[in-house]
Amino acid sequence: MPFFNLNDRYYSASEKENILNAMAILEAALNPMRATLTPEEKKTYGSVNEKNKLIINKVLDFRKSQARLSTPDVDWEEFERDYESRSFLEGILMRLKTAVGSLDSAKTLHDWDNLKAALIDYKYSKYKNSTQSSGYEIKVNEIRQFFAGRPKGGEKTSE
């Protein structure tokens, strides 16, 4: 068979069920602490860049090593809870981003496999339609609409 599968790994029904159950558990565990900022709030609070993280880390280092130099105007217990929470969340986010990246890559390969197979089937349908085989005209016309406006020839997804 001339068709080449880029991704031939598939989840079983039980693996899919386990993943969906794990996602439900994760979502339930994360839900109490979730926050959703509006676009305006995102602009207001921004993102703490790497330089500002260094400032936070240095202030925390001084707090731990020379507490007498820390201002009494900061709730230092709250500061440390915020720090621990953001560190925990950053680690979780890094793990999730890695997982999302690999899942997205796997999905891309499956998408590509589907597209290549669909194009092969379309070409076959056009051939069968050209031989006046019954039933192919409607199929070809239905699929042809997705190629409207594209130049013929060089494009990978062209007719």
Which single residue is written with the structure tokens 């050209």? 130
Q: How confident is the model at residue 1 (pLDDT cuts 50, 70, 90)?
A: low
pLDDT in tens, 49-84: 899 999 999 999 999 999 999 999 999 999 999 999
CA gap 120, 37 in Å, rounded: 46
Burial class (CB in 10 A: 0-12, 13-18, 19+), 125: buried
pLDDT in tens, 104-146: 999 999 999 999 999 999 999 999 999 999 999 999 999 999 9
Q: How confident is the model at residue 154 (pLDDT cuts 50, 70, 90)?
A: very low
Mean residue pLDDT of the chain comes to 91
- pLDDT score for 80: 97
pTM of the entire structure?
A: 0.74
- pLDDT score for 127: 98
- pLDDT score for 68: 97
Which single residue is written with the structure tokens 């020839």? 153
- pLDDT score for 132: 94
